[in-house]
Amino acid sequence: MPRLKAGKKRKKVKYKTITLKITSGQYKSLSNFSKSRRTSPNKVIKKAINPYLTKYKELDVTIHKVSVNQLALFSMD
């Protein structure tokens, strides 16, 4: 059999770790839900937040500049 040509290599995906604290009741509910759907809790969470993450991927975040005078209003000097 002829050997297939190697295609263009795919760019490696970078992953970031996020820590999330939930109560024991929420954990039990999440694990029961994931067991009933035959999936992992991680996949359930990813699927739930995916619509929010895809909307804002290319959004430019603007930081509003606060004038120097406004900072003096809240100081207790």
pLDDT tens for the chain, residues 1 to 77: 677 777 788 889 899 999 999 999 999 999 999 999 999 999 999 999 998 888 887 788 787 776 666 655 555 55
Quote the pLDDT of residue 74.
59
Assessment of whether the complete model's pTM goes beyond 0.85: no
pLDDT at 63: 79
Q: How far from 4 is each of 7, 34, 58, CA to CA, in Å?
A: 9, 40, 37
Q: Which phi and psi angles does 59 have, rounded to 5°?
A: -75, 135
